[in-house]
Chain A
């Protein structure tokens, strides 16, 4: 009896844009000048949204909020690769995905301010509501992919989740089903290295998250999650493979959560400030800014113009969100079922009458 190797695996990492703003020309995806500047503006907009959300929470104008600071390239780069018929199953930390899909930002503020109506995505945006129960959206994306195949549609389902989600059963069940049926799904793990206080290396003994796909029989790749070109290129390739019958892909965007877990958290209790400093040098927006400046696509004037435009959009979104009517008690009962139950109708009547 002797042992022999029956299978070997390796895990690839994709990097295209380095911290000095230089690119690997051979790996660079096709993006015209307009798209390049657009990517920059979407990241800037996502950051403006995010910083304002934290500020509004501190002023008591928003509820608990989950910041994306540092993850803009992972979110914008991946969402930018989506096509019209694709579907998104997000977690709850996806402001950059929403901004890229042109989700009305006033609605997103309303969601975080505790108004359910903020989750009503416009009809032309194929996105499931924000998912708070970690990892539970993952098998649902798999189901949508199965439905796409059943309907013979050339589209893909994309689901977003964090490194913490990969510890949950739903992640493994979803990946296994997708692999077994070779379904058109792209699993995007934003590995921001923290599940509240649990660091990535304590979360799992696996060296990478990407390699978890290999166990389920399909490709997994790690990309520099702060490199928008790498994120975009990997997502585009995965989507094309999915739509053409090549099956699922897991993309691990290796990034860092620069903010607290949420505005209710104090990351200072459990992580080293030096680590944060090191990641500041890898900022995804600065990096693209350097590249665009070098290419003469981004001047000081344009940078300021973009900053002003983002601020104005955020101002307007906040204004609209705060000007919206508060939900009335009928909203409590409006959507539990297609038709309220007789008992719900009595409860609403009794509630409203008492308020008079």
Chain B
């Protein structure tokens, strides 16, 4: 098995799926000649040509709208939005159309597209290059939201996303793109959507994280007896795994990098409260970004949950 970083693992998933299924086409800004600004699509133009790896004009709404039309027609487009902050200009197409095409046509049409985008802070890039806006999309019925945390699940989840009959927002943790390397299976390998993964097993406390924060949680809690759940799919999320762990440990700490108010962690906390309240021994706690726009480079480390904030929350939970 080759050892890959996340960039290489996603490249591998795209390359193999394009070979397997001629209906898969890629479109986005700078994905062809330049191989993508993070090089995720490097070499794919050479391998599959400009009809399947389409360098698009600078127009995110146009890119997503085009992808929706392709999907309606029967292709399986994978659109790249260069940074999650640029998804905002495609919001209308995503929310008003991609998410609703099946519903609006009562199942006659579907929208099997994937929108890949790097998300998350900590790369010291300009404004709108470090957003973590997953909650907007989780709040939109009809969309699936998937967030890998390492090379192996980046490949397995992306393959499933590309084969899924419904639109998938696929969020790639930018800070981890080249940070984590691990063995990634070549050939047929997929991870079902909607399933969480127990990244580490423990007894005393349940810690839930996804994407970039999983790495933080694992590092912060290396000497804690914690169940650490890698959510992998946010929508629809794996209630069963979360609730089983919560019932076992009686303590739940959620780690997310997005601003706290209205973040996806609130949905998880509410679900635990609704379904497992009587098993809890401590209040459900959230470690999150603050309720501010993602700050520029000089303050981003103050914004992002770090090991200290994660440990303090877990310690507090343990005190009950």
Contacts and interface: CB of A to CB of B under 8 A. Distances in A.
A332 B88 contact: no
Interface string B82-102: 000110110000000000000
A202 B55 contact: yes
Contacts of B302: 329, 332, 351
Contacts of B261: 343
A168 B260 CA distance: 32
B303 interface: yes
A336 B292 contact: yes
Interface residues of B, number: 41
A113 B295 CA distance: 12
Contact of A168 (B58, B127, B129, B291): B58
Contacts of B202: none
A167 B57 contact: yes
Interface stretch (A10-18, A193-201, A295-303): A193-201
Interface of B: 29-30, 32-35, 37, 55, 57-62, 85-86, 88-89, 124-129, 260-261, 290-293, 295-300, 302-303, 308-309, 312
A133 B58 contact: no
A332 B292 contact: yes
Contacts of B88: 133
Interface in A197-222: 197-198, 202-204
B58 A344 contact: no
B59 A168 contact: yes
Nearest to B293: A336
B290 to A, nearest CB: 5
A113 B126 CA distance: 9
B291 A203 contact: no
Given A169-B59, A341-B291, A329 B89 contact: no
B128 A132 contact: yes
Interface of A: 63-64, 92, 113-116, 132-134, 136, 164-165, 167-170, 195-198, 202-204, 264-265, 269-270, 326-327, 329, 331-333, 336, 341, 343-344, 347-348, 351, 354
A337 to B, nearest CB: 10
Contact of B299 (A270, A327, A344): A327
Contact of B89 (A136, A196, A197, A343): A136
A167 B126 contact: no
